[in-house]
């Protein structure tokens, strides 16, 4: 069979690539410089000529990027998943869900409304650099994008190659931690206002409020049972987690611990428990935050709810783990005022060292200065011990009252 010739030809001259379509008498400039990487620039010139010949991009059968990307990483019908499994590669459920989360939280909100021919490598790079995330997070986002873009290129919906998008390399940035004004917007004092602000995501709003006022990790919140909450001692015990694969395990760094809670957080949890009983599919669940049909809560659910609420309130996007960091910052301020040295053995030095020790006990950070606690009765006794400085723990949410008074005064 005779080889079919291209309907165009390329010519390199005076540092630029020129092209000529079939039937033309002379060459025309592509405007693309040869540069130091002739192979790469030739690829760009080739795609330019293909577009001019009507080969590079065909009439799209889908109107937007969101429409094309809808099945990707969603379930077992994902084209990429099926292709990789056919090649003998095992893609874990966590990998698939992580990519779908990136698609839903970042990529589709930015590019979902664009037609395929409106997306360019320069536009993608500019967007990636504008994100307030670390280089590692941006690289994860880019890898998910490249999978979708590669299939779009194969179907000739886009003219560029995904490899044309250069991975972002930026200096490390500080984690976005909510300030007091943002925390007040997310977690208003009035429970009716709280419910209205979070809407159908109310239960996940309670989860985020608990993360902010207890420092619990997402894996610990997913595993939290009602029996772990000690209402009479205004606190809870952390004895297990649910890992990424949905299996129960010991907390990270074996940080089994007791955590005191402010009165407002306890009130919010009581309110949540009452609403929890009203949901039919949750009645048989011992979990404080069950997923659908009383199953384990999806790992990305809290992130979805938190970022959606942040967008609705017009504040910076915040991750659930940033709430744990915010707790660390806020509680450190509160405990610094408590004069904790008197409550501990003489081996603790005054002020800062005692504050750090208690904070590590609350958050589950390992330290040689603290004895790890394993059995449940000891954790309950620890909660009783924390009641000695209950008045300082109650100051955690105090900033909201101060803001309200300032607003009323003005």
The DSSP symbol for 287 reads B
CA distance linking residue 322 with residue 328, whole number of Å: 10
Last residue of a domain, one of 124, 152, 173: 173
pLDDT for the residue 345: 41
pLDDT band at 360 (very low <50, low <70, confident <90, very high): low
Residues 260 and 384 in one domain: yes
The burial class, CB within 10 Å (0-12 / 13-18 / 19+), for 233 is buried
Q: Could you tell me the pTM of the whole model?
A: 0.59
Dump pLDDT digits (tens) for 176-232: 788 889 999 999 999 999 999 999 999 999 999 999 999 999 999 999 999 999 999
Residues 145 and 213 in one domain: no
Dump pLDDT digits (tens) for 60-93: 455 789 988 888 888 766 778 777 777 777 777 7
- ∠52-55-57 over CA atoms, to 5°? 90
| pLDDT mean across residues, the chain | 79
CA distance linking residue 376 with residue 390, whole number of Å: 21
Residues 226 and 137 in one domain: no
DSSP string for 27-78: -EEEEEE--S-HHHHHHHHHHHHHHHTT-S-PPPSSSSHHHHHTTTTTSTT-
Task: Return the H-helix or E-strand segment holding 5.
Answer: none
CA distance linking residue 213 with residue 329, whole number of Å: 11
Dump pLDDT digits (tens) for 254-284: 778 889 999 999 999 999 998 877 776 666 6
The burial class, CB within 10 Å (0-12 / 13-18 / 19+), for 286 is exposed
Dump pLDDT digits (tens) for 366-403: 443 333 332 356 677 878 877 877 888 888 898 886 55
pLDDT band at 343 (very low <50, low <70, confident <90, very high): very low
> Number of folded domains in the chain?
3
Residues 187 and 148 in one domain: no
- Do residues 288 and 272 lie in contact, with contact meaning Cβ atoms separated by under 8 Å? yes
CA distance linking residue 3 with residue 8, whole number of Å: 15
Residues 32 and 10 in one domain: yes
Residues 111 and 210 in one domain: no
Q: What's 77's domain CATH number? A: 1.10.150.130
Structural domain span for residue 161? 60-173
CA distance linking residue 140 with residue 145, whole number of Å: 9
pLDDT for the residue 186: 95
Residues 49 and 195 in one domain: no
Residue 349 has pLDDT above 50, yes or no: no
Residues 230 and 299 in one domain: yes
pLDDT for the residue 190: 94
pLDDT for the residue 314: 93
Residue 35 has pLDDT above 70, yes or no: yes
Residue 111 has pLDDT above 90, yes or no: yes
- Do residues 299 and 244 lie in contact, with contact meaning Cβ atoms separated by under 8 Å? yes
Residues 84 and 134 in one domain: yes
Name the most confidently modeled range: 19-28, 49-58, 87-96, 345-354.
Answer: 19-28
Length in residues, the chain: 410
Beta bridge partners of 75: none
pLDDT for the residue 2: 40
Residues 81 and 39 in one domain: no
Residues 49 and 197 in one domain: no
Contacts of 387 (CB under 8 A, 6+ apart): 233, 234, 260
CA distance linking residue 393 with residue 395, whole number of Å: 5
- Phi, psi values for residue 19, rounded to 5°: -135, 155
Q: Which residue has the higher pLDDT, 292 or 314?
A: 314
pLDDT for the residue 232: 92
pLDDT for the residue 374: 29
Residue 28 has pLDDT above 50, yes or no: yes
- Do residues 151 and 80 lie in contact, with contact meaning Cβ atoms separated by under 8 Å? yes
CA distance linking residue 238 with residue 262, whole number of Å: 16
Residues 14 and 28 in one domain: yes
pLDDT for the residue 368: 35
- ∠135-323-356 over CA atoms, to 5°? 100
DSSP string for 203-222: HHHHHHHHHHHH---HHHHH
Q: Where are the alpha helices (DSSP H) in 53-179?
A: 65-69, 79-86, 93-102, 108-111, 121-130, 135-154
């Amino acid at each position: 069979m005779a080889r079919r010739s291209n309907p165009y030809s390329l010519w390199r001259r005076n540092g630029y690539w020129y092209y000529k379509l079939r039937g033309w008498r002379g060459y025309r400039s592509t405007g693309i410089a040869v540069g130091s990487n002739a192979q790469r620039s030739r690829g760009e010139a080739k795609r330019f000529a293909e577009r001019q010949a009507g080969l590079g991009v065909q009439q799209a059968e889908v109107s937007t990027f969101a429409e094309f990307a809808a099945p990707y990483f969603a379930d077992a019908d994902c084209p990429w998943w099926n292709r990789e499994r056919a090649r003998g590669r095992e893609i874990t459920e966590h990998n698939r869900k992580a990519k779908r989360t990136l698609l839903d939280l970042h990529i589709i909100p930015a590019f979902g409304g664009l037609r395929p021919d409106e997306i360019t490598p320069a536009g993608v790079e500019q967007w990636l650099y504008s994100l307030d995330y670390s280089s590692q997070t941006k690289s994860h986002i880019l890898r998910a994008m490249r999978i979708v873009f590669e299939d779009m290129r194969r179907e000739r919906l886009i003219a560029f190659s995904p490899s044309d998008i250069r991975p972002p390399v930026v200096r490390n940035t500080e984690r976005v931690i909510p300030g007091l004004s943002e925390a007040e917007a997310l977690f208003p004092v009035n429970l009716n206002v709280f419910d209205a602000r979070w809407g159908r995501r109310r239960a996940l709003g309670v989860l985020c409020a608990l993360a902010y006022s207890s420092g619990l990790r997402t894996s610990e919140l997913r595993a939290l049972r009602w029996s772990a909450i000690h209402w009479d001692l205004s606190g809870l015990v952390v004895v297990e987690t649910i890992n990424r694969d949905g299996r129960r395990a010991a907390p990270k760094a074996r940080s089994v611990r007791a955590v005191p809670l402010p009165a407002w957080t306890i009130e919010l949890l009581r309110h949540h428990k009452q609403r929890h009983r009203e949901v039919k599919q949750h009645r048989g669940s011992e979990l404080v935050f069950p997923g659908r049909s009383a199953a384990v809560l999806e790992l990305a659910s809290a992130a979805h709810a938190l970022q959606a609420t942040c967008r609705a309130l017009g504040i910076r996007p915040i991750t659930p783990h940033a709430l744990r960091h915010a707790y660390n910052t806020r509680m450190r301020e509160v405990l610094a005022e408590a004069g904790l040295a008197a409550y501990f053995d003489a081996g603790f030095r005054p002020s800062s060292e005692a504050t750090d020790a208690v904070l590590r006990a609350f958050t589950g950070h390992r330290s040689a200065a603290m004895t790890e606690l394993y059995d449940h009765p000891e954790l309950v006794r620890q909660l009783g011990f924390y009641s000695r400085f209950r008045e300082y723990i109650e100051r955690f949410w105090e900033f909201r009252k101060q803001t309200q008074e300032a607003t009323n005064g003005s």
